[in-house]
Amino acid sequence: MVERVFDMNLITFNLVVNILSFVKLTEAQCYKNGTCVCHCADCSSGCQSCSPGWSGSTENFCQKANTLYQFYSMNSENINVLDGNSNTYEESKDSSPFIRVHLKESKVISRLDITIQLVAGNEYSVYVKDNKYATEDDLKCNTFTYNGVGTIQTIPFVCKQPLEGKYIQIVTSLTSTLRVYEIEQFECTNGSFGYNCSDICPNSCSGQCNKVTGRCACNTGFWGTHCNKTCPMRCKAKLCDSASGDCVDCVPGNYGLGCNGQCSPGCQDICNTTSGSCQCKQGFHSADCSQQCIENCNNRFCLQESGFCASCIPGKYGNFCNANCLGDCDGNCVQTTGLCGNCAKGKYGFYCNETCHKNCEGNICDRATGKCSDCVKKAYGLYCNETCPRNCDGDICDRVTGRCKQCKIGYMGDTCLENCPDHCKECSQDGYKCNRCEDGWYGVKCETRCQESCGGNTTCDIDSGWCHVCSVGYFGNFCEQKCSDNCDASYMCDKITGNCRSCKAGKRGPFCAESCSEHCRNLSCSMNESCINGCEDGWFGPQCKYKCNYALRSCAKCKFIDDDDEPVCIQCSDAWFLNGSKCSECPRNCSLCLSDSKCHECKNNHFYGKTCNLPCNAACRNKTCDITGQCTLECENSKYGTKCDQDCPVGCRSCRNALLCLSCEDGFNKNCERCDNNVTCRKGEMFDNIDTITKKDKNVIHAGIIDDT
């Protein structure tokens, strides 16, 4: 039987405080500037006591949080053990007494502080679990055995390993009363640490410090248990060991634990950050490259360990190159003995003090005997003191026998004193075979003429006599066959097959024996009959065999677009217009239009208007006018004006304007005045044709004067 003892007023007060401070409990923290969120009962007048659920140093504003304070489920029993009040308790007097509390949610438990009424000889066990009724050993946090006098104490239960669950259950080993006052789990807020959470994590911590010890990972530039020491200035990137303060690496140019040593100027690269040793620049030696190589070392290069020269400057030898070479050396002598490795050019002998013959190639001879390695042109012999025959090609002969290596063109024989056979431009040195004939000849000794139909200066193969190329109009190995008459004479036909390279206009096929389609533009087609320049207007297809107006109504010109199988019209027949890719009929009297509402030209010039729906004025000669209605020829019927719609003066057969007659009616004189007594006069015909008026007459007319003369 579990009994609950509690103060109702206290529970009500605690509930209100819990509601107001729950968010603070989970988020409370101390900041790196040394201030903390206040969890005191009264934060306005100094911290005298802590809010419910909080404890710890009042100087640090109560940063010790009881994370189980009122952390019970709504249907939990035994809630007095989580009310933060040590005066209330839960009690069990059953035969197997236990106290179990149901948490609001599952929680990880490492330690619990439990205030309990202890009974001598009793064993108390604490379980953390998700299964309400489970009591397996692996769910047991720890066990406490009490052998003293009965008393109320707060016992710390440190779990053997962290346990997670939503039930905490306390079990006793004896059949006696189990009374529990409080179950608490304490934790410092983020940013505080220590037994009473009285310390604030250092500002140099990276992230949070350990809430018990205050240990933390240090920010860059700090070290020590609490990151309160500064890394040495020469640590690279201000990084040092957080425990010892030794630099992880040094700023380039420094070495040692504190990076206080400076690398030698002779270091090739950065020196070892521990010892200061390095790879030396050229001209320095020793482990830390602090010593300079001596000047006689070639390029100031010496061995790092000993300082011995790797090689000497010319003329010197010895470990430190401080002795002179023993002879006329080409460059260096042997560093250990002083003897020349090679003699200077033009010298030989043990000490390189003898002179080579002047005809030695490159002025070089054998060091021991003085014999030339090779001779200059025109010379031969062991010492190059003999002259080669004059017809040796390039003036070069065998350096021992004097035999020409090769003859000049046109000569043969060991000494190249004989001429090659007739028509032979170049022959073998023994004279057996010509290597090159004069144009028009072939054979072993160029004794046979090439075919006359060979092209290219009548040249042919030196062995077979086959023509290299044929003259225009011939083919075959010997160019003995004539090309087709239909081959384009500007090109040779194929030398082997006789196939035409190009055909005359209108012909196609390998031998140009077939005709192109008559509708190919310019009668030009390829070997496969495809028209090269496209089709004549009105035809389409690769061979231009199809009429556009058979495929597309009233289409005068069409073509294929990309790979479409159907042609597309690009120009329509007269009196039709292109509407997209099809032809539509123009208005009735149009001979050329751009759309069904805009004529560009009218049929027979007898109509005018946008759609050619208006007839030309009858006074226009031949009743013809342009699309605006203006007459294209002269006016008739005594009319004048651009549209022949104005009347000439009385008596005028034709006129220029209302004042000037060009010809008169019968019965009127040349001044278009009526004749007297109705006598017929025909003077009015004098100006029937305006084109016959002379320049003088025109000037008179413009002046308004007509003379009888």
Q: What's phi and psi for 145, nearest 5 deg?
A: -110, 130
Q: Is the pLDDT of residue 698 over 50?
A: no
Domain holding 106, by residue range, is 2-188
What's the CA gap between 20 and 64, in Å, rounded? Answer: 17
Q: Is the pLDDT of residue 189 over 70?
A: yes
Give the pLDDT mean for 120-133: 94
Share of the chain above pLDDT 70, in %: 90
DSSP state, 272? P
Structure tokens at 351: 């000490």
What's the CA gap between 386 and 563, in Å, rounded? Answer: 81
Residue 642 lies in a domain: yes
CB 123 within 8 A of CB 116: no
Residue carrying the six token digits 């009490």: 146
CB 29 within 8 A of CB 36: yes
Are 61 and 171 found together in one domain?
A: yes
Of 188, 204, 222, which marks where a domain is finished?
A: 188
DSSP state, 211? T
Q: Say if strands 64-66 and 54-55 run parallel, antiparallel, or are unpaired.
A: antiparallel
Are 139 and 42 found together in one domain?
A: yes
> How many angstroms from the chain centroid is the CA of residue 448?
66
Please, which pLDDT band fits residue 519 given cuts at 50, 70 and 90?
A: confident
Closest CA to 14 of 92, 78, 70: 70
Are 593 and 676 found together in one domain?
A: no
- pLDDT, residue 517, reads 82
CB 201 within 8 A of CB 209: yes
Using a CB cutoff of 8 Å and minimum separation of 24, what contacts does 289-292 make? 289/264, 290/264, 290/266, 291/266, 292/266
Neighbour tally for 244: CB within 10 Å? 10
476 exposure class (CB count in 10 Å sphere: 0-12, 13-18, 19+): middle
What's the CA gap between 678 and 668, in Å, rounded? Answer: 9
Q: Is the pLDDT of residue 205 over 50?
A: yes
> How many angstroms from the chain centroid is the CA of residue 454?
57
Of 151, 173, 188, which marks where a domain is finished?
A: 188
SS3 11: helix
SS3 677: helix
Of 188, 213, 232, which marks where a domain is finished?
A: 188
Q: Say if strands 178-184 and 89-92 run parallel, antiparallel, or are unpaired.
A: antiparallel
Residue at 322: amino acid letter: N
CA distances from 528 to 507, 534, 561 (A): 11, 14, 21
Residue 3: strand pairing partners? 91
Are 608 and 709 found together in one domain?
A: no
Radius of gyration of the chain, Cα coordinates, nearest whole angstrom: 62
pLDDT in tens, 142-162: 999 999 888 999 999 999 999
pTM: 0.37
Are 153 and 61 found together in one domain?
A: yes
Please, which pLDDT band fits residue 680 given cuts at 50, 70 and 90?
A: low
- pLDDT, residue 689, reads 39
Domain of 61, CATH number, reads 2.60.120.260
Are 88 and 13 found together in one domain?
A: yes
SS3 331: coil
- pLDDT, residue 708, reads 34
What's the CA gap between 20 and 197, in Å, rounded? Answer: 22
Q: How many domains does the chain fold into?
A: 3
Are 640 and 655 found together in one domain?
A: no
